[in-house]
Structure 1
Amino acid sequence: MPPATGAELLWSCNSDSIRAELLDHSPSVFAEVTDQVRVWSIDARIDSFDEHDFSTENDLEPLDQTGPSRDIFFNIQQNHSMDRLRVKLATFTRIVDHYSIFPYFLQAVQGFGLRARSDTSTWNNFHLREKDGVVQACYTLHYVESNGRPTGDPWSFRKMAVYQRHDTRTHLSAWVLIKLPVPLKARLIDKLKKLWLDTQLCHVRHLMVHIIILAYSLHGWRNYLDSLKLRMEKIEEKCLFSRADVTNPYDYAVRFSDLQSIQLLRRKLVRAMSVLESAAGVVQRIQAVLPRLLPDAIRSAPLTTLRAELKDLEMEGQYYQRNVLELQQRSSDAASLLSGLLQHRNAVAMEEISVNAETERSLGQTSANNVRALTAVATLYLPASLLAGIFSTPLVQSEDSGPLVVSAEFWKFVVVLLPMLAVTFVVVDLLQTLWTVRDSKDMDEMKRRRREGLEPKRRRPWWNFGV
């Protein structure tokens, strides 16, 4: 690439630095082996449209009065957003040098090429310079597009770059289009053929191309915003209809991950607003320079038509921006409400834990005291009762203060004792079950009264088994 010219020295950019930077990044920006540059050529004299692969010998011709009367488009593709451009550095350099493309477009080209993650830049890079009847303009447009993925986010942000060199004396243009979407290519080809046949619009066809490209950049926003609204409604449904104090298996499952989902949605909305504002900036700049790009003899009806088209695009973009602002406000409100709901539920859960711990401690202490008392009494009386019972029966006898004699019927005592022990254990187990049910209901009642701010109810005595 040649060094900066005298005219470029007046520009705000550092031309030599931009060229050197592009060369440094060229291995990741440009293809290494093959070119896939499609050329569209429209000849004004014979009203023909031709599409073919790039040829250095046939396609690099001047746009002045001595050259052929045709518009030429260089369509440079990219397999996907993180791949190199399908053009070799040498081919791209020939095009840049032949049409003296200003360095602002080289800045836009650096935004393409190999990368490990998605590009989050939304800069439109709009620049326009005019000198000696030649107008150069470039910009980058971001848009949203369905990616067709079965899982994950079905929408992706894409971008394309546009450069035009227009000769106001011959009304011919040379274009470099980078990563043009497939539907837009088909639409442009169809429109270009028709614009040449329109006696009024053929002289403003270069401006109509910009309008067609701008219109396409807004094409997918309605469906994209509808998908964001649907996601927002699902989050709001959780926030608005979840019960704050009491949860049950049929209630909405509100988790911290819902706040993360809201934050991801808000990030998408922030980027959406930046992209829309960037596109609005391009529309406004084209509106501002519109009169300078038209010949004096045809500034009436075509100018009115172009202004109406641009105004429509401006209003459509503003409508989408209002939708994004509305979703941003709703997401902010939902995040605040959901955060408060999670905090409230956490406080209620902590209070429940505190009440449970206090109740269980009280019950444990009472049970321990009861068990301790009963154990002490049983321990004291059990030996005496056992001995008195045995010695008061004919099972053990003493004749005339002699030695104790065990009766031959003692085995009957053992046979009767064992079933009685079994019955005793059953009765004890039943009593424990009744006490457990009673204590559980006492605990629930204590929790309820605590939540309602009532005085704790006096505990029932241990012998009260009532429900």
Structure 2
Amino acid sequence: MTENVSIAKAQTLAALERLAGKGPESRGRPALEILTDEDDDINISIIDIENGAVNVKSYRDASALEKAIQEEKCFRIISIYSESTIDPLEVSPHVLEKILSRYEVHSDFMHVVASFGDEPHLAESSCSNMAMKSTDTGDIEISYQIRYVEENFRKGMSNPWSFRHTGVYHKHSTSSDLFILLQPQQNATGERKLLGLGKNGSLKLQQCPFMLHELLFSAYFENWRWYHRYLADRFSSVNDLAMVVRPANAEAASSFERVQSLRNVNDFILFSSGCCRGDLEVLEGFASLRNHESYMDPDNLKSEITRMRGYIESADALQERIRNAIDLVGYTLMLHNQMETAKVDKELRDMTGELKQLTEQTVGLNTEMKKMTQDTIDDSVTVKIITFVSAFYIPGSFAGTLFGMNFFGFDAIHRRIVIANDFWIFIATWIPLTLITIGLYLFVVWMNPRTKGKRGAHWLWQRPSRSQLPLSEEKGLNDSTLSVP
């Protein structure tokens, strides 16, 4: 027996070293993240029940606690507290080693201890660290961890629920029962229910020690129902919006917010489902305990198992609905994008058709411009020809007007027009006037600075070449050849 005690103590010390990160096989977090550093910073209470009387003592001093644990009691509950779920347990490594060594606690309990100092970890949601050791004499050692949710009643918080955990160690023998409870906070719900049992309830608990496990289950597991309803309400509010959004009105920003909210709810439900599976493992562990009917009420245990399975199935169903809602939001946004793409394609086709019509109209206008340019050139040439011809007959008309047509007469006898003998005067006047007119034209054209610098300048009797045409006229003649009648 002494050898077994030494082995158990050695295992406990080795586990503590690994927990503190001192051993060669250490893989855990530093002990100061899980336990407090100083012996004077402990916060531990011991509840002794004897003949229905409950005696509660709190300890802040390590030496006083060491004296208290040396006392022999038939029914003892040691509660080790944390200031909050995310804070270390208020027990130093030295004091914890004293407690574990005094009661020869199996090293499996160290896995439960190592989970504290932080909120329940995502990677350990389904891990209950359930361990049971039993002997033929009826002695039983049980250690496990339950995870649950509780309302935090914090104002201004987006999530009114907090994940918490409680560690339990139970050493049962025919003569005594020892419980070590790792509490996430002072005055926890389970402890309040324990202290509120009254004398009759405490006496019954002393007679049926396993009833304490049932008390913890009833104190915490029922919260899963209300938490899942809270998540379902959050899901419904987002899902209702997703169901009424038309693809034409879908927006990328609002769709992203809905998917983000749905995935957040999905993360919570996944974690809660894992915690429920870990709690179910604890319940089924008690159900598999040999002769468990003699320790616990089988009907109550069966009811707890049934409810826990229901919580898990409800969480699974909610996960499916959340995935469907996420798919709906994604499909709606995808359909919106397809509609927008089709709309843009239609607008591009319409613009292409309009551009084609404009091109055809432009071609028609160019044709008209070519025709107008050709007509303008023809008219210009005609006017110039008339002007050139006028340069000859206008001086003659002027001379004829000047002399009053006295150079011509009518012979009534011979009935013919007779030219006067001094007709040469008309010729002598007409020809110089014509030459003077042509000379003045040439002089004006030659001396005009505009005409000198103008690309299209040409003599009156010349037909303008292509290089002499203005650009607008030249473009109009690119595809046609003009002829002057």
TM, length-normalised to structure 2: 0.65
Task: Give the aligned residue type for 1:112.
Answer: F
1:328 corresponding residue in structure 2: 319
2:132 is the counterpart of 1:135: no
2:399 is aligned to none
Distance verdict in 2 for CA 1:87–1:219, change over 3 Å: same
Could you list the runs of 5+ residues in structure 1 that have no partner in the other structure?
389-397, 405-467
Aligned residues of 2:35 and 2:117 also touching (Cα < 8 A): yes
Secondary structure of 1:52's counterpart equals: strand
Paired positions, count = 371
User: Which letter does structure 2 place at the counterpart of 1:78?
Assistant: S
Match for residue 149 of structure 2 among 124, 144, 151: 144
Structure 2 residue runs without a partner (length 5+): 22-29, 380-389, 396-436, 442-485
Q: Contact conserved, 1:238 with 1:252, CA < 8 A, in 2?
A: no
Paired amino acid for 2:271: R
1:391 is aligned to none
State the one-letter code of the partner of 1:143. Y
Q: What is the rounded CA distance, in whole Å, between the counterparts of 1:217 and 1:196 in structure 2?
A: 20
**Shift, 1:253, TM fit:** 7.7
Aligned with 1:356 (options 347, 355, 371): 347
2-structure distance, mates of 1:56, 1:16: 19
What is the distance in 1 between the residues matched to 2:370 and 2:78?
105
Structure 2 counterpart of 1:183: 189
Residue 19 of structure 2 contacts residue 114 of structure 2 at CA under 8 Å; is this kept in 1? yes
Paired position in structure 2 for 1:22: 19
Q: 1:118-175 deviations in whole A, cap 9, x for unaligned?
A: 5541210111213465422110111122333524333332211111222322x43243
Shift of 1:207: 0.9
1:360 match: secondary structure: helix
SS of the counterpart of 1:210?
helix
Question: What residue is the counterpart of 2:103 in the other structure?
Answer: 99
Task: Name the residue aligned to 2:59.
Answer: 53
1:220 to 205, 223, 229: 223
- Give the aligned partner of residue 387 of structure 2: none
- Alpha-carbon offset, residue 374 of structure 1: 4.0
The structure that has the greater radius of gyration is 2
2:146 aligned with 1:125: no
Measure, in 1, the Cα distance between the counterparts of 2:192 and 2:260: 40
For 2:8 and 2:258, locate their aligned partners in 1 and report how far apart those are by CA, in whole Å.
53
Whole-angstrom distance in 1 between the partners of 2:242 and 2:118: 42
C-alpha change, 1:47 and 1:227, in structure 2 (3 Å) is closer
RMSD: 3.9
Give the structure 2 partner of residue 173 of structure 1. Answer: 178
Give me the whole-angstrom Cα distance separating, in 2, the residues matched to 1:6 and 1:98. Answer: 11
Deviation at 1:209, TM superposition (A): 0.9
TM-score, length of structure 1 as denominator length: 0.68
Q: How far is the alpha carbon of 1:187 from its aligned partner? A: 1.3
- Superposed, 1:358-373 pairs within 5 Å as 358-371=349-362, 373=364
Q: Superposed, which structure 2 residues align to 1:74-89 within 5 Å?
A: 74-89=78-93
Post-superposition, which runs of at least 4 consecutive aligned residues in structure 1 deviate over 6 A?
A: 13-16, 382-385, 400-404
Deviations 1:378-402 (A, max 9, x none): 69759999xx9xxxxxxxxx9x799
Change (3 A) 1:107 1:3: farther
Judged with a 3 Å threshold, the aligned counterparts in structure 2 of structure 1 residues 8 and 130 are, in CA distance, closer, same or farther, namely farther
Aligned to 1:39: 45
Query: Using the alignment, how far apart are the partners of 1:15 and 1:93 within structure 2?
Result: 7
| Identity between Structure 1 and Structure 2 (%) | 16
Partner amino acid, structure 2, of 1:74: I
8 Å contact from structure 1 (residues 84, 114) kept in 2 = yes
State the one-letter code of the partner of 2:145.
T
Whether 1:284 aligns to 2:293 is no
Please give the alpha-carbon distance, in whole angstroms, between the structure 2 residues aligned to 1:28 and 1:220: 28
Distance 1:78 1:47, change over 3 A: closer
For the 8 Å contact 2:69–2:99, the answer to whether it is kept is yes
